[in-house]
Amino acid sequence: MLEELAALEPFRQEVRAWCRTHVPPDWRETQRGAGHDEFVAFGRWWAGQLRDAGWLAPHWPKEWGGGFTVAEQVVLAEELARGDAPRNGLYQVALYNAAPAIIHAGTDEQCRHWLPGILDGEVWCQGFSEPNAGSDLASLQTRAVRDGDHYVVTGQKVWTSVAMEADWCILLARSDPDAPKHKGITYLVVDMHAPGVEVRPLRQATGAAEFCETFLDGVVVSVEHRIGAENEGWTVAQTSLASERAVVILGLAELLRRNGVERVIADAGTWPLEDGQAAGDDPAVRETLAARYAEALVLRYLINDMIDGVIRGVDVGATSSVIKLMYSELLQGLMRDATDIQGLPAQLDRPLLPPAGWESGNWMLDYINSWSWTIAGGSNEIMRNIIGERMLGLPR
């Protein structure tokens, strides 16, 4: 991959120049403490900027507005992070969860029906987790009962990010209650404006409320809105995301290194300790932050290795579990360190910065928020099980 990246230096310079002229230099100031409507408006505007540049969906096939090689996607992710671009969280599910499933397992007609809408700004959410089916997702109980040319869906989903703004929801529902729990699940696309859909925001410890719980009471979903075969939804959900995950986590890791580790190192030079010296001059603090910087570099090397595997067509499933585990623990550890080192000033209540990543510079809230990453996408306990069973050959 290194040779490919070297050959892409002109593209790298193009993205770098674009960031200088299109990333608002004051977006952190203008968006800090922004209300919900302001955040949504900003997210839609930023997605429009990326769409106009042709960079909103680089991982999609060329006929749908993408066609970038993995190496080109790496360069784009690196330079957007380097240019301090806002996080495109409003469209994360649409671009990296819903669209790949539709492209990989859907029909041509379904691609024509939904993909242009995503590029035009439709928001999607993901209805997978339930109150009693989080890490053990296959235990989900939301029912989809077939009635001729449609399903009647009843149940409850939780942690449904951006559900309040969503136009569509990718949803897993149990269509055969007598099948083994990983079977009998169907992958559906639900209109979030349909009768019987109710969304309730969940206020988090940080004060944000992008997570929601979603209730479905007899919601009618056309069979034409099923992705893949009936009762094969688990396979659709598990097999459509591997290559997309690789570049997504690369972008997150770059943001964590640049806006997290390097920012804490810089800020520590201005934080006074009790004895009056700068925290950055204290040997123990320097050792702690040096270790975090080394972890960030190791994480990037692991991601590079995984991306090489994706390019070669190697199964990277268990490797992605290692990376997810390491990323979440580095994120949480760094935010805890930053909060401890800064001391009492870190405890001050400051406004949220919604378009930032999980490293907004508000270290206490970032630390609280970091716990979600040890749960989302499969808890760290589940990741350790996968690593033990699939990589180390340990018994279940």
d(CA 210, CA 125): 11
- 299 within 8 A of 333, measured Cβ to Cβ: no
d(CA 15, CA 55): 10
d(CA 383, CA 317): 11
Choose the catalytic residue: 72, 210, 244, 359. Answer: 244
d(CA 374, CA 138): 19
Assess whether 244 carries a catalytic annotation: yes
Give which of 96, 378, 117 is closest to 251, Cα–Cα: 96
d(CA 72, CA 371): 32
d(CA 314, CA 320): 12
Percent helix / strand / coil, the chain, rounded to 5: 55, 15, 30
HEC secondary structure over 120-181: CCCCEEEECCECCECCCHHHCCCEEEEECCEEEEEEEEECCCCCCCCCEEEEEEECCCCCCC
List the catalytic residues: 244
